[in-house]
Amino acid sequence: MASASTSNALTSVEVPRLLLRTASLAGADARGLAADADLPAWSLPAGTGMVPAPLVTRLWELLERALGDPQVGLTVAGRRVFGDFGLYDYLITASATLRDAMSAAAGYLHLITTPSRVETLADTGQSVTYAYRCPGSGSRGEELCLQFAVAAFCAGAQALTRQRIVPTAVTFPQRPSRSAAAFTDALGTSRIDFGAPAATFTFRTADLDLPLPTADPVLATILGRYAAVFPAPEPATWHKRFQQRLDEALDAGSPSLGVMARQLAMSTRTLQRRLTDNETTWRAELDAARRRRAGGAGLDAGLAGEPDAAKLARQLRYADPRSARRALRRWAAKSAETDR
């Protein structure tokens, strides 16, 4: 089941074109992969536009299978050059410093994909840690997307500055890789942790302050005005972002307070305090997320059809089928009261 945060997500056609170009160079049937992913025919020729993000996630999985390459995200990142992503890339290359380029990459990411985002997770003064968020259900396609994004940012830092920049740390949420050497070669560091709460990469402050040889303030201003024609989605509040992350975690399994706190890189006490500041609680948010999930499955209209109790519990992530039925009845009663 797709969560509410991913159901309307879009990705620029420039991304699947890069994947399909990689497939062609490896001798795979690019057109067949595009058809299997249900990509619309209009998206394959040159041009601009956006396609549903789940189709691109599916293409990642198909590409891995076709090439027999479990690190295909790293492979595609190695094929990427600045210019592949059009306006987005030119906004980055026209920046004054690597730090400014990272700000442009984060600020204009909606030109490439929504609702993925780049966040500054920590700034110690000596280094800055960035997190790449790719909302989804924790699918294999999402793991490959995160591989690509982190590797592309690390390789991009060197391409932009024309200097050897080694990230001080990299993390991935996926399981430990059997081919760690491939990650070390692609990222330039062996300081890579798997099974982490998020995909992150850390750059030294001294590297971020390096000037870019391609800096062009006049062009940056012109491109910025043009990019403003394609505004970013309305910024979400912390509470809204938390709800989106909880929906994603619920898609993937049965999240606990501790699990959500780790994913948000905070302690459970801090998370509880943030929820209190937003006049809510963990229990209330989990109940609301389950109700949203029930609505997405068409189960919130009441008990018509009496769905199988065990199946209902699995869908709503309850350990006890009776708890799932009680919740469904409670939501139905609330809906009835609202309609009066």
**Does the structure show a pLDDT above 90 at 259?**
no
Q: What share of the chain is helix, strand, coil (3-state, %, to 5)?
A: 55, 10, 35
Rounded to whole angstroms, how far apart are CA atoms 69 and 76? 11
pLDDT digits (tens, 9 = 90+) for 116-150: 899 999 999 999 999 998 866 578 999 999 999 99
In the chain, what are the domain boundaries? 4-227, 238-339
The class level of CATH for 4-227 reads alpha beta
Give the CA-trace dihedral at 125, 158, 219, 21, to 10 degrees. Answer: -130
Decide: 71 and 145 in contact? Cβ < 8 Å: no
Q: How does residue 88 score in pLDDT terms, banded at 50, 70 and 90?
A: very high
Comparing 4-227 with 238-339, is the CATH topology the same? no
Q: Is domain 238-339 given the CATH code 1.10.3470 in the classification?
A: no
Q: What is the pLDDT of residues 25-46, one digit of tens each?
A: 999 999 999 999 999 888 888 7
Residue that wins the pLDDT comparison between 232 and 191: 191
What CA–CA distance (Å, rounded) separates 152 from 156? 6
Higher per-residue confidence, 251 vs 225: 225
Closest alpha carbon to 41 in 61, 27, 55 = 55
For residue 224, the model assigns a pLDDT of: 94
User: In whole angstroms, what is the distance from residue 333 CA to residue 93 CA?
Assistant: 56
Find the mean pLDDT for residues 68-86: 95
Contact criterion met (CB below 8 Å) for 48 and 86: yes
pTM above 0.85, yes or no: no
